[in-house]
Each structure stands twice: as structure tokens, then as C-alpha cells.
């Protein structure tokens, strides 16, 4: 989804139009996802954050586990 961003970069405030990516995964895959994003992203320092999930429906948990059963 498109977003307008303002952030400090190299001593000054930058403004840009960006695209926010939200995705679902498992916590243990964060490092692998971070490496892939770093390879593909045009920014020198992409911002990648994880939001812990305290609860999830049984069907969504099953879907995630099935989708990532072969992931390391």
C-alpha cells in the first residue's frame, strides 16, 4: 500500500513516496526474510520490523504452519 514517509537520513529530513509491505510469516524465519529483503531492496538501509502475535485463530495458525512446513 502506498505511504508518504518522512525520516532522518544522513543528517537531514527526507520525504518520499514508498510502498508498505505487510506479510505473515513465522518468527524463526525473520533473519532469512531480512536477508532476502536486503538483496532485493533499493534502499541502503531498508526498515524491516516484526510485530509479535499474541493470539491467532486456529485456522490461520494451521494455514501458516502448512505454508511454511518446508521452510528452514
In order of their start, the domains of the chain are: 2-67 (3.30.70.120)
The answer to whether the beta carbons of residues 63 and 25 sit under 8 Å apart is no
pLDDT of the residue at 17 = 94
pLDDT reported for residue 72: 67
User: What pLDDT was estimated at residue 44?
Assistant: 86
Of 70, 68, 69, 72, the residue nearest 24 (C-alpha): 68
Report yes or no on whether pTM surpasses 0.75.
no
pLDDT tens digit at each of 72 positions of the chain? 899 999 999 999 999 999 898 998 888 899 999 999 999 998 888 889 999 889 999 999 899 888 888 776
Amino acid at each position: 500500500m502506498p505511504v508518504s514517509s518522512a525520516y532522518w537520513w544522513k543528517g537531514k529530513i527526507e520525504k518520499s513516496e514508498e510502498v508498505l509491505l505487510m506479510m505473515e510469516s513465522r518468527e524463526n524465519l525473520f533473519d532469512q526474510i531480512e536477508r532476502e529483503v536486503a538483496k532485493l531492496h533499493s534502499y541502503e538501509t531498508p526498515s524491516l520490523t516484526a510485530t509479535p502475535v499474541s493470539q491467532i485463530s486456529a485456522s490461520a495458525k494451521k494455514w501458516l504452519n502448512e505454508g511454511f512446513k518446508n521452510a528452514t
